[in-house]
Structure 1
Amino acid sequence: MKGILCVSHGFYAEAFKESLKMIAGNVTNLHALCLEPTDGPEQFKDKLVAIQPTLDAYDKVWVFADLFGGSPCNTTFQHYVSNPNIEFVAGMNFPMVLSALLSEEISLDSCIEQGKDAIVNVRTFMQAMMANDEDE
Structure 2
Amino acid sequence: MKGIILASHGKMADGLLDSLELFNGQLSQVQALCLLPGEEIPLFIQRIQKAVSQVDTGDGVVIFCDLLFGSPCNCSSVLIKDTKMANKVDIITGMNLPMVMEFLASRERNISSDEIINVGREGIQDFVDIYRQSKIAKEK
Cα pair 1:24 1:102 within 8 Å, conserved: no
Q: How does 1:34-49 map to 2 (within 5 A)?
A: 34-49=34-49
Structure 2, unaligned runs of 5 or more: none
Structure 1, unaligned runs of 5 or more: none
Name the CA shift for 1:58/1:19 in 2 (closer, same or farther; >3 Å): farther
Could you tell me which of 125, 134, 138 is aligned with 1:120?
A: 125
Partner of 2:93: 90
Partner of 1:130: 135
Partner of 1:54: 54
Partner of 2:13: 13
Distance in 1, Cα, partners of 2:121 & 2:8: 19
State the identity as a percent.
32
**Shift in Å, 1:95:** 0.3
CA deviation vs aligned residue, 1:106-134 (integer Å, no higher than 9, x gap):
32211111110110100111101111111
**Shift in Å, 1:40:** 2.5
Instruction: Please give the root-mean-square deviation of Cα atoms over the aligned residues, in Å.
Output: 1.4
Partner of 1:3: 3
Name the CA shift for 1:46/1:60 in 2 (closer, same or farther; >3 Å): closer
**TM-score normalised by the chain length of structure 1:** 0.91
**TM-score normalised by the chain length of structure 2:** 0.89
CA deviation vs aligned residue, 1:77-132 (integer Å, no higher than 9, x gap):
12334421211111000000011111122322111111101101001111011111
Q: Which residue identity does 1:129 align to in structure 2?
A: S
